[in-house]
Amino acid sequence: MRITEGCSLGQELLVIKEQVQPAMARLKENDLVVERENEELAQVEVQIAELQARRDLILHRRDGAVAVGTELKSSARQILKAATKKKRALAERKLIRASWQADIDSGDIAWRRITCLIWGMLSDGV
């Protein structure tokens, strides 16, 4: 009887192994799929980190460019203001020279007037 029972247990074990084998194969396939998906997820996370680093770099550069642009605008305004003052001063000098030349040409040199104009120019810092 034991031999028969042993055979039937062995047969049952084989039947169970045959029944479990497809499930084990699917489990192995699922493990492979999960492993591949984990690898893909890791790659996507690396790409996300790289994109975030690039974004941060771009924002940093943009902020620097905005600051430089603001600084350049301020400098341009200052240069324009100084150029306008210089242009006015040069126009005044030209007018004074023309007036002097007219006085010299007419023979009526007003030394007092010239002295006052020179002192005025020097005190203006021109």
More confident: 28 or 118: 28
Question: Which has the closest alpha carbon to 117: 106, 98, 13?
Answer: 98
Write down the pLDDT at residue 109. 57
Write down the pLDDT at residue 2. 43
The per-residue pLDDT for range 46-104, each reduced to its tens digit, is 999 999 999 999 888 888 888 888 888 888 889 989 889 988 888 888 888 787 777 66
pLDDT for 123 beyond 90: no
Going by the DSSP 8-state scheme, the letter that residue 107 receives in this structure is T
Write down the pLDDT at residue 1. 36
Which structure tokens are listed for 122?
Answer: 């020097």
How big is the CA angle at 57 (ends 55 and 63), to the nearest 5 degrees? 100
Distances (CA, A) of 85 to 25, 32, 39, 79, 81: 89, 79, 69, 10, 6
Question: Which has the closest alpha carbon to 92: 56, 125, 121?
Answer: 121
Average pLDDT, whole number, for the chain? 81
Q: What is the pTM of this model?
A: 0.46
Terminal Cα distance for the chain, rounded: 128
Write down the pLDDT at residue 37. 93
Q: Which residue type sits at 99?
A: S
Write down the pLDDT at residue 29. 92
More confident: 126 or 69: 69
